[in-house]
Amino acid sequence: MEPISTQALNEFYGTWDIVAVDPPGSTKEAARLVFRDDHSYAALDVGGKELWAGTFDLDSTVTPKIWDHRSFESQESGSDVLGIYVINGDQLKVCCVVGVWKDGQWIGKPRPSEFDRSSSDVVLEMRRSTTNGRPITT
């Protein structure tokens, strides 16, 4: 994967409210995701409690753009999430599949090539969080 460009990271990082999940419940109690410029992320519940955390990679040089992430717990088992994303202003849409790396080979559905639930495990729609009209960047 290409190194993350500063522009892509600046566009991506911050706090995003989850506004739609397909299938429902696949993000459990997570109400928002926080992406930091050190390539870490956290899932938070409605009260701001961290539910899980991990790392992510972006590749904005391909179409569709790539967003891969893994929780710290899943890194021990080799699990990974391969995804794609699109940002339109304060709207972020992601589409992902879950799998595991075994002997350097991906075991799971192929990375989605379009934002279609039939070829993915989850589709999320998010909106950049704001307080008094200003973006939150925890």
> Higher model confidence: residue 133 or residue 45?
45
Per-residue confidence band for 1, with pLDDT thresholds at 50, 70 and 90: low
pLDDT reading at 132 higher than 50: no
Please tell me the predicted confidence (pLDDT) of residue 131. 56
pLDDT, one tens digit per residue, over 85-95 is 999 999 999 99
Per-residue confidence band for 71, with pLDDT thresholds at 50, 70 and 90: confident
9-18, 38-47, 73-82, 115-124: the lowest-pLDDT one = 73-82
Please tell me the predicted confidence (pLDDT) of residue 127. 97
- Compute the distance between CA of residue 58 and CA of residue 63 in angstroms, rounded to an integer: 12
- In the chain, the domains with their CATH numbers are 6-131 (2.40.128)
Mean pLDDT of 82-104: 94
